[in-house]
Structure 1
Amino acid sequence: MPIKYGDSTIPTCYATCSIGFKDSHTLPLKLKAIADAGFDAIELSMPEVLSYGQMLHGVKPDPADYDTLVSIGREIKSLTAQHNLQILMLQPFAKFEGWPKGSKEREDAFARARGWIRIMEAVGTNMLQVGSSDADDISSSFDELAADLAELADLCAEKGFLIAYENWCWATRAPRWKDVWQIVQKANRPNLGMCLDTFQSAGGEWGDPTTKSGVVEGISRGELESRWGESLAELSVTVPADRIYLLQISDAYKMDTPIEAKTNEDGLRPRGQWSHRYRPLPYDGGYLPVKEFLTAVMDTGFNGWFSVEVFDPGGQKKSVDMGDYSKKAMDSLGKLLQS
């Protein structure tokens, strides 16, 4: 159900990885909850494909067994059609760009890309989300990162597919929206655009889970606000609306006990740890300047997809069921646009 915004309507989407917290919360139940709340589409996560494969066949498929994943993908396409849901994109494609030429890692990255493109065909989506890489040993050259994205864009273009490149705020080389925009411009491919995210930008440039204040320290609060305002103003006048393929929506909790400023045992950096577990819906206990970022995006002229992508297992447990939570998510989108 699109949301009215002035003279425009904003189509709505919900990431399947962002609802449910029990093993019993299967993909069919997730899709019903999302559809009943009035959403137009889903972001389909690869872990969801694997889980649904296990539900169908009793064993989780090998992530590199693309013949099996394609078969599962066709089943998912049929399932979403029953709920009149579009599959906006497949996500999250990670650790892709920046590997040395001739390396095993680069070979694997492009093998995965070709496999994921097959799955995209099977599920009936035309968009692949690529997160800016958080791998340690990748190139620092934006020219080289852009060259990899350009090569991937060319592969996708053969099928008429798009790439939505997203800045992950714990990424190694491109943690800011401006970094990703520079890489997109350098790659210079018509099917390569941006996935912007309220958490990734506000949580990267303004917020900080490792400080007691919850915000970036080392500069005055006034300077922080000034830099944040300048970033928003620059976004609103430099990024063409048609290069923004979607805006993902979430907030973040201020950490009562700050996250240690180091990678955890899984090798995940602090903002990555924050992202994976402490991202509620807007107006549900978070503190980031989500509305400010959304306004800057809308000031570009953007009136495309709004997609809920939250990671809040504790918050979801407070809701009666997934249906209630997905309706709460739709309400939060409406409130953001009306406030």
Structure 2
Amino acid sequence: MALDASTLTTIPISYATCSLGPPSNPPPLLDRLNAISTAGFTAIELSFPDILSFGQSHLGHPIDPKDYDDLCAVAAQIQKECQKRNLGIMMLQPFSNFEGWPEGSAERKDAFDRARGWIRIMKSCGCDMLQVGSTDTPLEKLDQSRIVPDLRELADMLAEHGFKLAYENWCWSSHAPDWKDVWQIVKEVDRPNIGLCLDTFQTAGGEWGDPTTGSGIREDVSREEVEKRFRKSLDDLSKSIPKEKIYLLQISDAYKVPEPMSTEADESGLRPRGRWSHDYRPLPFNGGYLPVVDVARAVLRTGFRGWFSYEVFDGGKDGKKENEDIVAYAQAASNVQQKLLAECAGFGGREPQDD
């Protein structure tokens, strides 16, 4: 069933500040805001590392990540800079490794201290949504019975200020790598201000793609089975998630890595899909190979017509790109939005098939 193209024209577009320019050499934040605004985006996802980097230049000294007085002052200045460029701040991200720490642990105390601090930052920059990524802390360090209660408590903390929690499945997460995992958790949390941050990379890169194989596609089952399962998953997504429980869709593709990655975590503990995510995520239609259109179309079939937000980490096909014309890149992202919606409406991607 084709989508009605006329319903897609009012979808608002955002760009994640952390993802404009090479991952290894991001340009100054104000240059990125200029490029994002010039390309016609109406909002940004504000990245915490960008608050730190902008804060150092704005205040003239490095900022302690736990100095929330300084962080709030910087966030307020970033809001002013956004307002000059007619940009809203749609979301603060990425809030990570929050849920599931054992009761009484130092890590749990730190997680809730950070939550209170980030809420202060949200108030300072005029943002009403917090992105929380499904934790990648090793399961043996977690009390999984705390995951839902922790997120419920965080949702309640945010609700006191009229804020929302956008929960995202990171495809290298230790406990919730797929959209079905986070959707089940969101249902169990059962709060009106928690919803999903869906992502074309996290969905396609977790359920269909694999950076540790020669093909770049999952090889734990046959290719036919991979395709069958993926079509079924997207069909389930389109039929099971209420549109109002999707807060945004993040957009990116992935390059096939030059050599298959090790299946082991690296020295920092990051799993292969996390390493893939860091440097090998271009715009759709620009050298990647994931079935991005299929994911976007499935999300649109829920009736969702909210934020499409571009979050790419384009280090080039070798992951080592160091320079980028960010004005041209932001405009390319705006052009991709037009093509992506046209593909979704016109079945220019891979036509879903019946089993």
- Confirm or deny a common fold (TM above 0.5): yes
User: 1:56 Cα deviation (Å)?
Assistant: 1.0
Number of equivalent positions: 335
Which residue of 59, 63, 66 corresponds with 1:64? 66
**Cα deviations across residues 219-252 of structure 1 (Å, max 9, x unaligned)?**
1111111110110010000000000000000000
Which residue is 1:54 aligned to? 56
Identity, in percent, stands at 55
Task: Indicate if the aligned counterparts of 2:46 and 2:93 stay in contact, CA closer than 8 A.
Answer: yes
Structure 2 segments unaligned to the other structure (5+ residues): 344-355
Question: In structure 1, what residue type is equivalent to 2:299?
Answer: V
Matches within 5 A, 1:1-339: 5-8=5-8, 9-21=10-22, 25-136=27-138, 137-139=140-142, 141=144, 144-314=146-316, 321-339=325-343
Q: For 1:191 and 1:117, how far apart are their aligned partners in 2?
A: 14
Q: For 2:281 and 2:230, how far apart are their aligned partners in 1?
A: 20
Q: For 1:111 and 1:92, how far apart are their aligned partners in 2?
A: 16
Look up the SS of the partner of 2:313 in the other structure.
coil
Q: For 1:318 and 1:108, how far apart are their aligned partners in 2?
A: 34
Task: Indicate if the aligned counterparts of 2:243 and 2:302 stay in contact, CA closer than 8 A.
Answer: yes
Task: Indicate if the aligned counterparts of 2:101 and 2:143 stay in contact, CA closer than 8 A.
Answer: no
User: 1:255 Cα deviation (Å)?
Assistant: 1.4
Q: For 2:321 and 2:276, how far apart are their aligned partners in 1?
A: 18
User: 1:314 Cα deviation (Å)?
Assistant: 3.0
User: 1:313 Cα deviation (Å)?
Assistant: 2.7
Q: For 1:191 and 1:263, how far apart are their aligned partners in 2?
A: 34
User: 1:6 Cα deviation (Å)?
Assistant: 1.7
Q: For 1:51 and 1:319, how far apart are their aligned partners in 2?
A: 18
**Cα deviations across residues 291-320 of structure 1 (Å, max 9, x unaligned)?**
001110000000000000000133795986
Task: Indicate if the aligned counterparts of 1:169 and 1:175 stay in contact, CA closer than 8 A.
Answer: yes
Task: Indicate if the aligned counterparts of 2:102 and 2:146 stay in contact, CA closer than 8 A.
Answer: no
Structure 1 segments unaligned to the other structure (5+ residues): none
Task: Indicate if the aligned counterparts of 1:195 and 1:247 stay in contact, CA closer than 8 A.
Answer: yes
Q: For 2:246 and 2:260, how far apart are their aligned partners in 1?
A: 33
Look up the SS of the partner of 2:170 in the other structure.
coil
User: 1:45 Cα deviation (Å)?
Assistant: 0.2
Question: In structure 1, what residue type is equivalent to 2:326?
Answer: M
Q: For 2:325 and 2:215, how far apart are their aligned partners in 1?
A: 33
Look up the SS of the partner of 2:205 in the other structure.
helix
Look up the SS of the partner of 1:211 in the other structure.
coil
Label 1:267 to 1:56 Cα distance change in 2 as closer, same or farther (>3 A).
same
Look up the SS of the partner of 1:10 in the other structure.
coil
Question: In structure 1, what residue type is equivalent to 2:20?
Answer: I
Label 1:271 to 1:24 Cα distance change in 2 as closer, same or farther (>3 A).
closer
Label 1:52 to 1:318 Cα distance change in 2 as closer, same or farther (>3 A).
closer
- Give the TM-score normalised by the residue count of structure 1: 0.96
Q: For 1:140 and 1:204, how far apart are their aligned partners in 2?
A: 24
Look up the SS of the partner of 1:90 in the other structure.
strand
Task: Flag the structure with more relative contact order, 1 or 2, with Cα contacts below 8 A and sequence separation at least 6.
Answer: 2
Range 309-318 or range 23-32, more displaced: 309-318
Q: For 2:101 and 2:302, how far apart are their aligned partners in 1?
A: 33
Q: For 2:46 and 2:88, how far apart are their aligned partners in 1?
A: 10
Q: For 1:240 and 1:191, how far apart are their aligned partners in 2?
A: 14
Label 1:317 to 1:277 Cα distance change in 2 as closer, same or farther (>3 A).
closer
Q: For 1:317 and 1:223, how far apart are their aligned partners in 2?
A: 35
Task: Indicate if the aligned counterparts of 1:319 and 1:325 stay in contact, CA closer than 8 A.
Answer: no
User: 1:256 Cα deviation (Å)?
Assistant: 2.2
Which residue is 2:348 aligned to? none
